[in-house]
Each structure stands twice: as C-alpha cells, then as structure tokens.
Amino acid sequence: MFDGLILLGQGVAYFLTPEGLFNVFWATLLGLAIGLLPGLTATMGVALLVTLTYKMAAEQAILTLMCVYLGAIFGGSRTAILLNIPGTPANAAATMDGHPLALQGKAGLAMGLATTSSTLGTMVGIFFLAIIAPFLSEAALKFGSYEFFWLALFGVIISGQMSGSDTPLKGYIAGVIGLLVAMVGMESLHAYQRFTFGVRELGAGIDIIPAMVGAFGLAEIMTQIKSRTNVRIASVNDRVVPRLKEIFQYWKTIIRSGIIGTIVGIIPGVGEDVGAWTSYAAAKKLSKHPEEFGKGSQEGLIAAETGDNAVVSAAMIPTLTLALPGSAAAAVLIAAMYIHGIRPGPMLMIENAAFLYQVIGMLLLATLANLIFGLSLTKLFIRIVSVPKERLMAVIAVFCVVGSFAVSQRMFDVYLMLGFGVVGFLLREMKYPMAPLVLGLVLGPLLDLNLRRGLGLTNGDWTPFVTRPISAILCAVVVITILMSIPAVGRTVRGLFSSLAGRKSGTAA
C-alpha cells in the first residue's frame, strides 16, 4: 500500500516538468477540438496523433495520446448540448437533457455541469484503476503460451461487441481480417515469409501506423465528404461555472454512475457509449423525478457525463494488465504502446511497474486540464464548430500522408495508408467497425506466436489449450461470448433467466 502511494506520487511528479505540462496543454486542447467537431471521434484523433508522437519519448507520447483521448470524450458534450449532435458516440446520452437545457437558456450551466461531472466520473475510474490494476496484473502472471493464445483470441472476439454495427458478426469479420493482415510478412519462429506474393516491401509485414491512419483517418475523410451537413451554433450567454450545491445535491447519482462506468470500462471492448446510456438509465429509474428526464433534467445530464468519462480511466485496467481494450480508442492505445516499446499485459508490473502509476498521473493531469479549459474557454471553443468541413478535412488529409511517410520514409507506407483508407471506407459503408480490424492487426502476432509455441511445447498436442485451468476458463469465455452474440441464443438465455426470476418471485409471494 505504502509502496503504491510512493509510485503514484512519482508517477504524477514525472510529468510535472515543462515538457510534460506543455504536452498536457496542447494535447488536451487538441482533444477538446476533436470532440467539438461532429464526426471526428476520439479513436480517430488518437490514431492520427500516433504518427506525430513517433519520435517522442515513450512516456511523453502516451501522455499526449491519453490527453487527446480524454479531451475528445469530454469535448463531445459541447456539441451534444449546443447542437443536439454528439461530438463523439459516447456523448449521445448527453443530448437527451443537455440540449433541452440549452433550449431553456441554460446552455452555459449545462456545459458547466457536464464539465464537473465528467471530472468526477474520471476521478472515480482513476480510483479503481489504482486499486484493481496491480492485483489483476499479479493474477495474470500465471499465464503461459496457452493462456496468451486465448487472451489474444478473446481480444479479437470481444472487439466485435465494441463496434456499434448492426450485428456483432461484422465485428468478428473485421477482427478476422485484421488477423489475416497480421500474418503477412516474416513469421517470428522460423523467419519464413508468408503472403508477400513477391513484394519485397511486405517482408517486414504491415506497419500498424499507416494501417491505423488509413482505417480511421482517410476513411473518415471520405465518409465526411460523402455526408455534407451544415450546423447552426447556439449562443451561450448564461453562467458556465455551476454552484457546488447544483453538483453535490446529486452525489448519489455521481457515485453510482461512476461505479457503473467503471464496471463497463473493465469489461473489454464495451466502450464509453454503453457506460453513458447505462448510467443514464439507472439514474432515471432511481430518480425522484423521472418525469423530468429528456426534458432538461440536470441529474440526467450529470449521470450520462459521469458514466462515459468513468469508462475512459477504467478502460485502462484491462488495457494495461491484460492487453485487452476497454474501448475502441484503447485498442489504438495498445498499438501505440507497442510502437513505443511498452508491452501492456501481465508482464507490465514486472518489466515496467512504474508505468502503471505514470498512466494514473497522465489521467489526473489530463482531467485537471479538461476542468480548467472546460470552465474557462467554453465560449471560445464553440467557435471551432464553425470551421468549414472541407478545410478541416483537407488539413487532416495532409496529416494522413505526412504521418504515414514519416515513420519509415517509404512511399510504400503511403500506398498502404491509401489502400487501408479505401478498404476502411467501403467497410464503414457496409457498417463494419474499424476498431476490431486494427486490434486484430495488433494481436495477430501474439496469437500466432503463442499458438505455434504452445503446439511446439507439446509436439502438436492441443489438449493443454483446453485442459489447463486458466486456459479452460478463457476458452469457455470465448465460446460463451460467440454464442451470446447469436440473436437466437441470446434471446433464449435471457428468456431462461427471466423465467427463473419469475418463478423465484412467485415462490416468495
């Protein structure tokens, strides 16, 4: 306990330098801007910025990406309130009561409430991150090649649930495509080139950066060009800073929503939007005035913004300890960590224990920056929404090309980015999610290596993959996850539980 507090203090102090504070400053502002612009997601922002942080020190690079991630989720509530258009999918629940408050002339108050509740939600998630992550990481040290295989497969399978597509099957297909792409290049055990088809540049495999930039950045540009929309900005003339009474009269809602968001964040692949809607539904069900929800309820807005921001910090628990993403943006963060030489997973507490507490320090500094900027620059930031989309997309297109080329100074990487951009756009048009594809690309080498290593240790015997205790549990979880995603099976299981609950209540009566 005492050692943990020392490491936590060192993690925060590590970034209290001119370089660290400067990175917090500009990255948080950039994240807010990304969140403010409808159509630009936190995942896209993090993916694009990975290319700009390639030459930075590992800790400073992850700090920058974390600030953009947190800032984008936080900033999306501005447009949800002012325009009834969520800046990111995580802020959709904030439109239910945030925009009605704006229509009542309380836009400034609504944004102030969203700012403070977002801060408190993140703090709840950070608290549980500091407590749970070390214990989970210690338990995960018992993993071997067999367990790592199932863990990597589970990461790809669960990513199908993070998608927001009309069926998890499309998420699975995108994940499998990512796995297949990860097989391209020289394999790790015998240095044999696979699926290169005589293309010399493919011998080193598909670089994750041009793949991410194409799938998230260029594909998003094509999507935005296709859908031309003009928005009108509401004015903000009332106070932005809420009174303490207006916040803490809903302290039960804040704590409950923070805990719900934390639980959602710990479950790999679920995401911030689920945390927001679940918190909102719980608040409405337990509220003394449920009839006000959807008509400008301050409690509803606070619940939604507390829940989605708690997911951000809690999502770091499986991300750091198991290398499984708690959200779509966390999947990109995992790729960024690998790029910068940081290996998230069970070995993190042995190889780089201080990094866990540095991540907590990153979240604390980013949260503080969001609070300051959110309360002081609200009226200035809403002008960003008026930037013409065609100009913004042109700038992002330049970043896509430059970022892809800058990694290895190869035009081949630019061609890869263009290819992934076109494929990503086509998949989006067919409602396929991008995060599982990138995650499959990241986890593919881990899955491939541990599958063949495990089979090599047993001379081709596959039974340890399903007979070792932890492997058996992970195998069962993978199978259950796949079965529960089948609509007929899911309805049957839910109906079974409902009937059992009905029998118990009838017996009790």
Instruction: Give me the tens of pLDDT residue by residue for the chain, a chain 509 residues long.
Output: 556 567 777 778 888 889 989 999 999 988 888 887 766 678 778 887 887 787 888 889 999 999 999 888 888 888 778 777 676 767 778 888 887 888 787 878 888 888 888 889 889 888 888 888 877 767 766 777 888 788 778 777 766 655 544 567 788 888 888 888 888 888 777 778 888 888 888 887 887 778 877 887 788 788 877 776 554 455 566 567 778 887 888 888 889 999 988 888 887 656 677 788 888 888 888 888 888 888 888 888 899 889 888 888 888 888 888 877 777 788 788 888 888 888 887 777 777 878 888 888 899 999 999 888 888 877 676 666 666 667 767 777 887 787 778 667 788 888 988 998 899 899 888 888 777 787 788 778 878 888 888 888 888 888 888 888 888 888 888 888 778 777 665 566 556 545 544 554 454 44
Contacts of residue 95, Cβ cutoff 8 Å, sequence gap at least 6: 80, 81, 84, 85, 86
Residue 213 · residue 400 · CB < 8 Å:
yes
- Are 166 and 428 contacting, i.e. CB atoms less than 8 angstroms apart? no
Place of tokens 């859908």: 227
Output the six-digit token pair for 235: 């004015």
Between CA 358 and CA 111 the distance in angstroms is: 29
CA atoms within 13 Å, Cβ hemisphere of 282: 21
Is the residue at 197 inside a domain?
Answer: yes
From 370, 379, 438, select the one nearest 179 (Cα to Cα).
438
> Is 507 within the bounds of a domain?
no
Helix (H, G, I), strand (E, B) or coil at 191: coil
Buried b (16+ CB within 10 A) or exposed e, 208-224: bbbbbbbbbbbbbbbeb
What DSSP designation does 406 have? H
Q: Is 382 in contact with 233 (CB distance < 8 Å)?
A: yes
Q: What is the distance between the alpha carbons of residues 404 and 410, in angstroms, rounded to a whole number? A: 8
Whole-number pLDDT of residue 294:
81
Q: Does some domain include residue 492?
A: no
Domain range holding 208? 2-143+189-217+233-395
pLDDT at 228: 61
- Residue 379, burial from CB neighbour count under 10 angstroms (0-12, 13-18, 19+): middle
Task: Give bridge partners of residue 193 from the DSSP assignment.
Answer: 186
- Cα separation of 129 and 315, whole Å? 9
The residues, ordered by sequence, that sit 6+ positions from 173 with a Cβ below 8 Å of its Cβ are 432
Contact 367, 126 (CB under 8 A): yes
- Note whether residue 474 is domain-resident: no
Q: Are 310 and 304 in contact (CB under 8 A)?
A: no
Q: What is the DSSP letter of 163?
A: S
119 Cβ partners below 8 Å, 6+ apart?
309, 367, 370, 371
- Flag whether 30 is in a domain: yes
Q: Where are the alpha helices (DSSP H) in 267-327?
A: 272-286, 298-314, 316-322
CB-count burial class (<10 Å; 0-12, 13-18, 19+) for 290: middle
In this structure, what DSSP letter does residue 216 have? I
Q: Confirm whether 495 is domain-assigned.
A: no
Place of tokens 């009542």: 104
pLDDT at 3: 60
Q: Does 385 reside within a domain?
A: yes
Taken as a whole, the chain contains a residue count of 509
Q: How far apart are CA 46 and CA 62, in angstroms?
A: 10
The per-residue pLDDT for 505 is: 45
Per-residue model confidence (pLDDT) at position 509: 45
38's CB contacts (< 8 A; 6+ apart) are: 79, 83, 85, 86, 87, 229, 231, 385
In whole angstroms, give the CA distance from residue 415 to residue 90: 32
pLDDT at 22: 92
User: What pLDDT is attached to residue 489?
Assistant: 59
Within a domain: residue 289?
Answer: yes
Tokens of 447: 């899955």
Residues 220 and 40: beta-carbon distance below 8 Å? yes
Which pLDDT belongs to residue 501? 47
Asked if residues 262 and 128 have their Cβ atoms less than 8 Å apart, the reply is: yes
What phi-psi label fits residue 132: left (phi over 0), alpha (psi between -120 and 50 degrees) or beta?
alpha
Compute how many other C-beta atoms are within 10 angstroms of the C-beta atom of residue 182. Answer: 22
First to last CA, the chain: 47
DSSP 235: P
Structural domain count, the chain: 1
